Amino acid sequence: MTRDVFTDVIGGLKRADLWAFLAWQDIRQRYRRSSLGPFWITLATLLTVGGMTLVYAGLFKQDMKTFLPWIATGIVVWGLISGCLIEGSNVFVSASNTIKQVPAPLTVHVFRLVWNQLIYFLHNFVVIVIALTVSGVGISRANLFFGPALLLLLVNLGWATLLLGTVSARFRDVPLIVQSIITAVFLMTPVMWRAEFLPPGRQWVAFLNPFTYLLDIVRRPLLGEVPPMNEWLIVGALAVCGWGVALAIYGRCRHRIAFWI
């Protein structure tokens, strides 16, 4: 069973031509008759960042120019995280027709979704560049950690998508539960606020939240900060433990998924 699961995952990775093509087709289909295409999302993100900076900088009494990069990086990176989790809970259900017609490992659709969300992230990355330029944040050696941090985040989003997609194929209430929880987690994660804004006795809300580390490990290099070692260890541990749980559950259910959907 274990060997079959690993073969499935490796087989899915090897079909990069298929899942990359399907992800791009998903985007083209969604914006087929649009003049701006996916850049409508970029425009919406830009407006959201501007509005949130105006409001939250006032609430927390922060300088708008220095607070802008914090909001921009937080919203864009959170968009990647939440997009994979929300869409991932329906990854097999939404691909039911393809699964029944195209002989390929089911993990192809997991990588397809993660790649799809990464493309959206890269479109929205324009907003981060604008925010950093306006705020005068220059290029530094810390930026070199952005690539490894983003890769580690994607590894975590991969197991989360696989796990949620497997469970949701059997229990259709899971996507609704995930969507509700993501909204609550968004408010409890320092996307638009800093942990130090909380009283000392309540900062545990941020420090015990795993999403804080998934977000910060990518955000810090963009802001010119090197992620501390404890963040690398925590996010790495999440990846190892998460893939272990996801593969165990997927291994028990993968032969039934086609019937459930």
User: What are the pLDDT digits (tens) for 78-114?
Assistant: 999 999 999 989 998 887 887 777 777 888 889 999 9
Print the domain residue range for 120: 2-260
* Per-residue pLDDT at 57: 85
Q: Residue 226 carries which DSSP code?
A: P
Tokens of 242: 């998460």
Structurally, the chain folds into a number of domains equal to 1
* End-to-end Cα separation, the chain, in angstroms: 22
Cα 67–chain centre separation:
22
Tokens of 151: 């890769």
Which of 121, 116, 118, 113 is CA-nearest to residue 42? 121
The answer to whether 250 and 105 have CB atoms below 8 angstroms apart is no
Q: State the Cα–Cα distance between residues 23 and 108, nearest whole angstrom.
A: 10
The residue to which tokens 């079959």 are assigned: 4
* Per-residue pLDDT at 36: 64
Residue spans of the chain under pLDDT 70: 1-3, 33-38
